[in-house]
Amino acid sequence: MLHYLPCKDQSLAFTMEDAYRILGVLGPMPREALVAMVDYGLSDAEIGRYFGLPHQMITTLREHWLIAGDP
């Protein structure tokens, strides 16, 4: 049985494996880490390459957390 990271609007559904992977690379404050990378002017693809995550995952997180950046 798959377990999913709960989310208030249910539009964001990561497996627990994905959630642990995100926390493992972005650290204990993943939103703030992503905000910093976007503030540095990096694209989702560049952020994904830096952290070893698919750029679609970065885009999904950025949109969910309402972080302005590249579409």
Using the predicted structure, report yes or no on whether residue 2 has a pLDDT greater than 80: no
pLDDT at 14: 80
Using the predicted structure, report yes or no on whether residue 5 has a pLDDT greater than 50: no
Label each residue of 41-60 as H, E or C: CCCHHHHHHHHCCCHHHHHH
pLDDT at 71: 57
pLDDT at 70: 65
Residue 3 contacts residue 15 (beta carbons within 8 Å): yes
pLDDT at 48: 96
10-60 pLDDT, tens digit per residue, is: 556 688 899 899 999 999 899 999 999 999 999 999 999 999 999 999 999
Helix (H) / strand (E) containing 18? helix 16-26
